[in-house]
Amino acid sequence: MFAKPDALAEKIDASIARHGASRHSLIPVLQDVQQRFHTISDLAMQTIAQRMGIPPVEVYGVVSFYPLLSTRRRERFLIRLCRTVGCDMAGKD
């Protein structure tokens, strides 16, 4: 299921109004979009870049860098398991 362009633009505009249009607000805006639509589509990245005055490649770079942001659809809850030595030493079960 893809987001309707009007609903997507409204969510992006509301998020930018809440967080601001500066570069340091990019991650909170992306998180808002992902929380609402369970993905960050190409259209969403282009719209965010345009509204915030940031190059689209920079928005894509942020989305692809952070593992909690995704261009693939995710469900509401994400469960991650730690299988590292550090977690073992901390007493994970």
Q: Which fold, 5-89?
A: Arc Repressor Mutant, subunit A (1.10.10)
What is the torsion angle, in degrees rounded to the nearest 10, for the CA atoms of residue 8, residue 14, residue 15 and residue 21?
A: 110
Question: Splitting the chain (93 residues) into consecutive groups of 10 residues, what average pLDDT does each group show?
Answer: 76 95 94 92 96 96 91 74 78 64
Domain assignments of the chain as residue spans, ordered by start: 5-89
At residue 53, what are phi and psi to the nearest 5 degrees? 70, 35
Show the CA angle centred on residue 40, arms to residues 37 and 45, nearest 5°: 130
Q: What is the pLDDT of residue 89?
A: 76
pTM over 0.85: no
